[in-house]
């Protein structure tokens, strides 16, 4: 196994609350794949998923929960 001079990567992902467990698994798998493609071993990678309620997420000066464009959004 190669030794790395850098710290193990810790990736923080912010999503809206109620993100499904299946979607979280896909995010973790995908991010891990990207790092392994650049020769960072999977066991060195940490991923933290933060779930944020839409009313605590601001977009274009408004709460995401109040934005019309998100009314029919299905969170994966």
- C-beta neighbour count of 38 within 10 angstroms: 6
Catalytic residue among 9, 41, 53, 76: 9
For residue 33, the surrounding DSSP H or E stretch is helix 21-37
- The answer to whether 53 is a known catalytic residue is no
Catalytic machinery residues: 9
């Amino acid at each position: 196994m190669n030794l790395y001079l850098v710290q193990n990567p810790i990736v923080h992902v912010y999503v809206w609350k109620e993100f499904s467990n299946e979607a979280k698994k896909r995010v973790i798998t995908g991010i891990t794949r990207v790092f392994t493609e650049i020769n960072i071993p999977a066991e060195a990678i940490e991923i933290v998923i933060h779930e944020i309620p839409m009313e605590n997420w601001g977009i274009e000066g408004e709460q995401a929960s109040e934005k019309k464009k998100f009314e029919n959004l299905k969170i994966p």
